[in-house]
Structure 1
Amino acid sequence: MENRAPADELETQLLRALRLSDPDLSRFDPMRRIISHDDFSRGHCGWSQLVGNYEDTLDTMLPGYAQHTSAMLSTLGHWDAGSHGGIDSSYALKIATRPRAGAQNVAIKRLTMRARCPIRFEAYVTFKPEATELKLGDTDVRSFGFLFDLQGGDRDDGVERVMPHMRFLNAADGQHVQKWQYKSQTAKMLDIGDGSKTNSHYHLAPEGWEDLPGGTQRLCYNEIATKVNWSYIRFDFDLAEMKALAFQCNDQVFDVSGFEPMRIPAMKNLWCMLNFGMFTETDVDKRAFLYIDSICISGDF
């Protein structure tokens, strides 16, 4: 009698074979269904500036958001040898801070969810300060990281707005730290403008970050200020249970059993929200750059 694989196992094998045969997807390890595959050689792919809430005038925007600027497409240009380009194309997405110690910038992709399932976020990234000096600058970038902004549907029970945040704290006050951190508490929610329809909170405020257990890691940082090497990150999260499942950066897999995302009451107009963000922060009066070659977001549904 012929030994045949179950239908779901056969489907898994076929999907894996197809993806491994595609040079753009084979660097990722996606779940069953790809939600989006963002190759920034094709443009911004829906990643835009994180604009803070405002009402009547832009002056009502919280200062944390007012500092943000638009992400841009970049060839990773530099003064000594031209440009790096992406991993296998000319372009990457560039998130740049203002040249002020502590300045941050965020790019965001805004989606909605169609299933409460495990999802996987994968990206290839690199970080550098602006090469304005003939020295390495390996402690000039304070941090980079990623965030999700999630909320269940209007018919779900016990809905909260859930916001997983993870950052690599590279340096603080000119000294290397080099460890992963998460944030479980957000800033106070504030009313915006004179009405009661809009409020805001700056969830990337510097206070409240906690060390991820066993989260120390030294990332590749090349020998002069203009060189870059790409790093891989992967974060799995369950949209049904609203909890972290796994986190990996390059060759290290970290324990996320103690990871706790920010949780706040559900907002009245954010049903089924599925947002993803990436950010960076500078430690000195020099711009910090986070470059993203490509991102794959997938789900098990």
Structure 2
Amino acid sequence: MFAAAHVNYAQTLSRFDPLPRIIAMDDFDRGFCGWTQLVGNYEDSLDAMLPGYAQHSSPMLSTLPHWDAGSHGGVDGDYALKIATRPRIGAQNVAIKRLTFRKAGPIRMEAYLTFKPEASALKLSETDVRSIGFLFDLQVGDQMAGSGHRVMPHMRFLNAADGKHIQKWQFKRQSVPIVPIGTENKTISHYHLSPDGWEDLAGGDQKLCYNEIPTKVNWHYIRFDFDLASMQCTGFRCNDREFDVSGFDSIRLPAMKNLWCMLNLAFFAEADADKRALLYLDSVCLSGDF
């Protein structure tokens, strides 16, 4: 059993180009691998949660079932992590993995993913997913207190808007208001995935593979490089395209008193029709050079 698991791990890792140290190698044939629902902050009552977070639900393990031929499965196994929105225009959902870092150095995130709307109509529905994307939520170590920042790189593929195909990559650096939660001055919140403030990545137009009927999917490769020392993006790739990130920037906030060395990674989906938007992650590799 150990030998089989070792071979499978090697096969999964071989499809990535990681930096020297593997921080996390998440193949969802092994389960949830630490990924969970992004729950909004609250105090005393769940009603204190901001509405953007209240809509979120837990990710699920899925074989990508479809009504006409069974199940797709993952890239080389049975399961993928499914992030599904509610069936409402503008609905969003987010899955997150929460870590901390042990050295501020270069990191690389790689993933194989695909997306589609729920196949509830016998037509292609290629504009029913508004966007899919990912973000990091990072903060410096406690020795930087007073001069450091909480830094949140965001990247999304804007697939469609108001029923029209857009197909381009965007980033976000505009912060949103911070809202105090409760009465003890311990908890705050801000919904950073609001639809405002997205900017086009330079040369970020890209047509992704979207197959001919609403139940078919094709897997895409993405890679995002970031330096925790400078808190700057150093590279982004999707499939055969390497993008210019010289104009990329992140949401930057003052460091918060209980989030030192935070290294959180999240993926999200957003609907552009009154049906569920589905983002599937086959595998995610997070690596570093330290």
Establish whether TM, by shorter chain, passes 0.5.
yes
How far did residue 237 of structure 1 move?
0.1
Q: What CA deviation, in whole Å up to 9, does each residue of 1:19-61 have, x standing for no partner? A: 9x92111100000100000000000000000000000000000
Q: What CA deviation, in whole Å up to 9, does each residue of 1:114-151 have, x standing for no partner? A: 01100000000000000000000100000000000000
Q: Which residue of 1 aligns with 2:266?
A: 277
Per the alignment, in what secondary structure is the counterpart of residue 135 of structure 2?
A: strand
For structure 2, which runs of at least 5 residues remain unmatched after alignment?
1-5
Q: Which residue of 2 aligns with 1:4?
A: none
Q: Which residue of 1 aligns with 2:135?
A: 147
Q: Which of 179, 189, 193 is the matching residue for 2:182?
A: 193
Q: Which residue of 1 aligns with 2:255?
A: 266
Matched, 1:81 2:50: no
Distance 2:275 2:281 in 1: 20
Per the alignment, in what secondary structure is the counterpart of residue 102 of structure 1?
A: coil
Query: What is the identity, as a one-letter code, of the residue corresponding to 1:37?
Result: M
Q: Which residue of 2 aligns with 1:236?
A: 225
Q: Is the 8 A contact 1:137 1:225 kept in 2?
A: yes
Q: Which of 100, 107, 116 is the matching residue for 1:112?
A: 100
Distance 1:208 1:196 in 2: 28
Q: Which of 11, 22, 47 is the matching residue for 1:23?
A: 11
Q: Is the 8 A contact 1:186 1:202 kept in 2?
A: no
1:36-185 paired onto structure 2 within 5 Å:
36-156=24-144, 158-185=147-174
Q: Is the 8 A contact 1:182 1:210 kept in 2?
A: yes
TM-score with structure 1 setting the length: 0.93
Matched, 1:291 2:286: no
Per the alignment, in what secondary structure is the counterpart of residue 248 of structure 1?
A: strand
Query: What is the identity, as a one-letter code, of the residue corresponding to 1:292?
Result: L
Distance 2:158 2:110 in 1: 19
Query: What is the identity, as a one-letter code, of the residue corresponding to 2:277?
Result: A
Per the alignment, in what secondary structure is the counterpart of residue 24 of structure 1?
A: helix
Per the alignment, in what secondary structure is the counterpart of residue 155 of structure 1?
A: helix
Q: Which residue of 2 aligns with 1:215?
A: 204
Moved over 3 A (4+): none
Per the alignment, in what secondary structure is the counterpart of residue 22 of structure 1?
A: helix
Per the alignment, in what secondary structure is the counterpart of residue 41 of structure 1?
A: helix
Query: What is the identity, as a one-letter code, of the residue corresponding to 2:76?
Result: D
Distance 2:31 2:175 in 1: 32
Larger radius of gyration: 1
Query: What is the identity, as a one-letter code, of the residue corresponding to 1:264?
Result: L
After superposition, the CA RMSD in angstroms is 1.4
Q: Which residue of 2 aligns with 1:250?
A: 239
For structure 1, which runs of at least 5 residues remain unmatched after alignment?
1-17
Distance 2:237 2:181 in 1: 38
Query: What is the identity, as a one-letter code, of the residue corresponding to 2:46?
Result: L
Q: Which residue of 1 aligns with 2:3?
A: none
Distance 1:195 1:32 in 2: 43
The percentage of counterpart residues that share the same residue type is 71
How far did residue 194 of structure 1 move?
2.8
